[in-house]
Amino acid sequence: MRLHAIAALLASATALSTPTAQLSRAATFWRYATPVVAKYLGQLASIELQERLSGTCLSDEECAVAWEDAHVSGASAFRKTVDDLGGFYVKTGQIVASRQDLFPKQYSNALAGLTDFVDPLPSAEVRRVVAEETLRPGEVWEDVFSEWDDAPLGAASVAQVHRAVLSEKYGNKEVAVKVQRPGVETTLLGDVKQLKRLAKPLRGTTPVDYYIVFQELESQLADEFDFIREAAAMERIGTTLNEAPGGAALVVPRTVPSLCSKRVLVMDYLRGEPLSRLAERLPEGADLGPAGKALLAALTDAFGRCIFSTGFFHADPHPGNLFVLDDGRIGLIDFGQVKQISGKARCTLGK
């Protein structure tokens, strides 16, 4: 039964009718994953046999010891997959590292310290994408941008961001331009499908149904490829915060709607530094004092207002998405992941 599951798993993986590059990624993934699946299913069969022969169930401590070797091997293989392929596997690895309540500690330890930074696209390719998405018929580059920094502010698996200044025609203001990497949607969604194929035969053998976890990640990832949706989310949350008595607790960049498209997002440029970078310079356990309390108060006010007022909120507020601005305020960026909860859910949370 277990061997049949592995065979079916491999058959489904090799039957994919995808481009050569995607097949190559899938082949690399399964080169690492197949021994891991076999080891877990073999260990499960061993435990079931041992319990059947002894007539008793293993204790939690005995189970932890029994699974140790499989977890160590699996974590090592996952880390090699991330290092070799990047892409969605990096995003998944970051989530695994931060959720020790869902994943074995061996995985969290092996994947700690992952960053979603990749080599930036060539400047000519970036300009080509931006020109295709933003220039109107008859316009040239200089009609839209009076300044453009070819060196990106950051480059991740889905997109990279550039600083620019718009022409007088478009408001003559400093902006950040988020540019989606060509072909990234096919690549990353292909990656998550492989993870789902890996998790499916293991359903019922682990305390957490990782197939459901990856299914949810797939749904979240799909939203990140539509920058028009992200722009709308940014405007909606920005409006909610700005309507607060006394002003917004967090600064949300506003978009330039006439220059936004599915692959390009133009928004206010926030001058400051991400909280993650500041944290790296602080000694471990440092007391942030009044600054830390002010940050906590701003986040509590902003997210409380979004959740309990409209039920629509930013769903990925990690330190890389929080900026300490030059004027001391806190900025919030990257609205690719947002959530909407019902009025009933808001009432339940309020109680």
Instruction: Please report where in the chains the tokens 């900025």 appear, as a residue.
Output: 331
Secondary-structure percent of the chain, ordered helix, strand, coil, rounded to 5: 60, 15, 30
Torsion of CA 201, 206, 210, 213, to 10 degrees: 150
Pairing of the two strands 264-268 and 312-314: unpaired
Closest Cα to residue 282, out of 299, 270, 295?
Answer: 295
Instruction: Catalogue the E-assigned strands of 173-282.
Output: 174-180, 264-268, 272-274
Count Cβ atoms below 10 Å from residue 223 Cβ, excluding itself. 15
Position 328, amino acid: G
Residue keyed to tokens 């169930």: 57
Q: Which of 333, 314, 18 is nearest to 187 (CA)?
A: 18
Catalytic: 316?
yes
The token duo for 31 is 């080169």
Q: Report how far residue 242's alpha carbon sits from residue 106's, in angstroms, rounded to the nearest whole number.
A: 44
Q: Which of 316, 326, 327, 334 is catalytic?
A: 316
Assigned token pair, 332:
């919030």
Active-site positions read 316
